[in-house]
């Protein structure tokens, strides 16, 4: 990890730069795949699945027998762990339900808001070196709680054309019974346009690599919504000598092992503490099965030491991390100052991996600085808020002149007339 001690303000932006490729480098490939899927449909999906994943699955959709076989392959202890995590995630997302809001803004003018589920949603579940069955829970459960009518999953197939059994077990647990063996750009394109096999959806959810992230953003050109820009994983740990170096090192490595393009940052007011963490990283790294991946990510990572809490807070919010761990003496002060973060973890005994798996919060979060504008996935991500209004005779009498004056001032006389006709009828009625 590169270390910076009290860096100059004019160097901060460069120091906090993410190791992600520019969109311009990725978009040509995304456009090519989208154009082919739009015109050739399933043929193009199969072509790119073979090209990128090195396989053409015999069955493009997971069959009932494959679901049954997968359930038998998942160890009992893992099933119990997944089920416990699912209960916590469901409990937290059910708690996010809100009642209908109804207000009489003035006598006779009634306005209210109701939330309706998005009917058709597509969930992208990363495969590759780390099949994320936990993401199935994070997306499938709120989709179920929200009441989405059609929920499908796209996930990359393995070299043998199969889908990881834990992914299929989690899908069944969430009530998702349509899983397609397709990943990458072609999966996002298929859900965008629909093919003879994969249905078109209204909104696409899920994390992925830089290509998947760019593909999701490209999908918005075709009237398909996405949850957020969610690319390579990242973590910032804000810690001082009150934290446990071994814990901090483990947390940093937990994100570094996601992928070579992941980034972790340790931000502290204690240089001595940072040295202890560095030593722990080297010790723990030696025993990691994904050591090569984590090492590459660590090369893109930073240790930043500053003199005071105000500077620390400024850098923290400037970065806007996907995951933010705060384990410091002034925890409350730092926590209250957080304005840009996807999800925050507090204290020595709250590892980021708790949120990744089982505490109940959602792990699908904005990355690459988008925590400044986006929230992580939550129940509202799967719903639309529709407003209603009903105006009585008394209401239009009270409000009518306000609308007339405003419409006339904007030069929109048909708008004014829509009110004036009603007011005149009511006036005539009262004179009868």
**pLDDT tens digits, 372-408:** 999 999 999 999 999 999 999 999 999 999 999 999 9
Q: Is 356 annotated as a binding residue?
A: yes
Q: Check if the beta carbon of residue 301 is closer than 8 Å to that of residue 265.
A: yes
Range 205-216 average pLDDT: 90
Q: Which pLDDT value is given to residue 82? A: 98
Q: Which pLDDT value is given to residue 345? A: 98
Q: Check if the beta carbon of residue 347 is closer than 8 Å to that of residue 335.
A: no
- List the catalytic residue out of 90, 234, 322, 404: 322
Each residue's pLDDT tens digit, 65-86: 999 999 999 999 999 999 999 9
Q: Is 363 annotated as a binding residue?
A: no
Unique residue bearing structure tokens 């290509």: 211
- Token pair, residue 85, equals 């995590």
Nearest to 187 by CA among 156, 220, 147: 156
- CA dist 204 and 298 (Å) reads 31
- Token pair, residue 8, equals 């100059």
Q: Is 323 annotated as a binding residue?
A: yes
- CA dist 15 and 26 (Å) reads 23
pTM listed for this prediction: 0.93
Task: Tell me whether residue 363 is one of the annotated catalytic residues.
Answer: no
* DSSP secondary structure letters along 230-265: --S-EEEEEE-TTS-HHHHHHHHHHHHTT-TT-EEE
> Which 3 state secondary structure label does DSSP give 99?
coil
| Structural domains in the chain, sorted by start | 2-18+232-350 (3.40.50.1980), 23-229+380-384 (3.40.50.1980), 392-431 (1.20.5.1300)
Residue 220: count of CB within 10 angstroms of its CB: 12
Q: Is 172 annotated as a binding residue?
A: no
320 HSE (CA, 13 A, CB side): 18
- List the catalytic residue out of 90, 234, 323, 404: 323
Q: Which pLDDT value is given to residue 195? A: 97
pLDDT at 313 over 90: yes
- CA dist 138 and 134 (Å) reads 6
Q: Is 93 annotated as a binding residue?
A: no
Q: Check if the beta carbon of residue 321 is closer than 8 Å to that of residue 342.
A: yes
Each residue's pLDDT tens digit, 27-68: 999 999 999 999 999 999 999 999 999 998 989 999 999 999
Contacts of 195 by beta carbon, 8 Å cutoff, 6+ apart: 37, 41, 42, 45
DSSP 8-class letter at 379: G
Residues of the chain above pLDDT 90, percent: 88
* DSSP secondary structure letters along 13-82: HHHT------HHHHHHHHHHHHHHHHHHTHHHHHHHHHHHHS---SSSB--HHHHHHHHHHS-HHHHHHH
Q: Which pLDDT value is given to residue 104? A: 98
Q: Is 209 annotated as a binding residue?
A: yes
Pairing state between β 179-181 and 150-155: parallel
Task: Tell me whether residue 323 is one of the annotated catalytic residues.
Answer: yes
């Amino acid at each position: 990890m590169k270390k910076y001690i009290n860096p100059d303000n004019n160097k901060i932006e460069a120091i906090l730069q993410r190791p992600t490729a520019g969109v311009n480098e990725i978009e040509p490939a995304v456009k090519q795949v989208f154009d082919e899927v739009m015109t050739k449909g399933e043929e193009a999906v199969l072509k790119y699945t073979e090209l990128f994943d090195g396989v053409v699955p015999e069955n493009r959709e997971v069959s009932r027998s494959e679901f049954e076989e997968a359930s038998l392959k998942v160890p009992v202890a893992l099933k119990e762990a997944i089920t416990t995590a699912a209960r916590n995630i469901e409990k937290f997302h059910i708690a996010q339900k809100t009642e209908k809001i109804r207000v009489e803004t003035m006598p006779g003018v009634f306005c209210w808001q109701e939330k309706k589920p998005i009917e058709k949603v597509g969930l992208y579940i990363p495969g590759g070196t780390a099949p994320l069955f936990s993401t199935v829970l994070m997306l499938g459960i709120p989709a179920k709680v929200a009441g989405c009518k059609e929920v499908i999953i796209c996930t990359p197939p393995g070299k043998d054309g199969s889908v990881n059994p834990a992914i299929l077990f989690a899908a069944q647990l969430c009530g998702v019974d349509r899983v397609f063996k397709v990943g990458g750009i072609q999966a996002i394109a298929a859900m965008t346009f629909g093919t003879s096999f994969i249905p078109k959806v209204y909104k696409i959810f899920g994390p992925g690599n830089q290509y998947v992230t760019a593909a999701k953003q490209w999908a918005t050109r075709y009237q398909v919504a996405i949850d957020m820009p969610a690319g390579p994983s990242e973590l910032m740990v804000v810690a001082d000598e009150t934290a446990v170096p071994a814990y901090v090192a483990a947390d940093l490595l937990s994100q570094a092992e996601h992928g070579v393009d992941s980034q972790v940052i340790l931000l502290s007011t204690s240089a001595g503490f940072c040295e202890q963490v560095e030593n722990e990283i080297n010790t723990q790294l030696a025993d990691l099965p994904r050591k090569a991946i984590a090492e590459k990510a660590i090369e893109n990572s930073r240790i930043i030491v500053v003199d005071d809490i105000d500077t620390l807070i400024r850098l923290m919010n400037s970065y806007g991390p996907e995951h933010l761990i705060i384990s410091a003496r002034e925890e409350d002060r730092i926590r209250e100052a957080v304005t840009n973060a996807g999800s925050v973890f507090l204290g020595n005994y709250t590892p980021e991996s708790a949120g990744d798996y089982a505490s109940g919060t959602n792990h699908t979060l904005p990355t690459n600085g988008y925590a400044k504008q986006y929230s992580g996935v939550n129940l509202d991500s799967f719903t639309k808020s529709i407003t209603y209004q009903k105006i009585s005779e008394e209401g239009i009498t009270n409000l009518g002149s306000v609308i007339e004056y405003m419409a006339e001032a904007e030069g929109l006389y048909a708008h004014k007339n829509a009110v004036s006709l009603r007011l005149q009828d009511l006036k005539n009625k009262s004179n009868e």
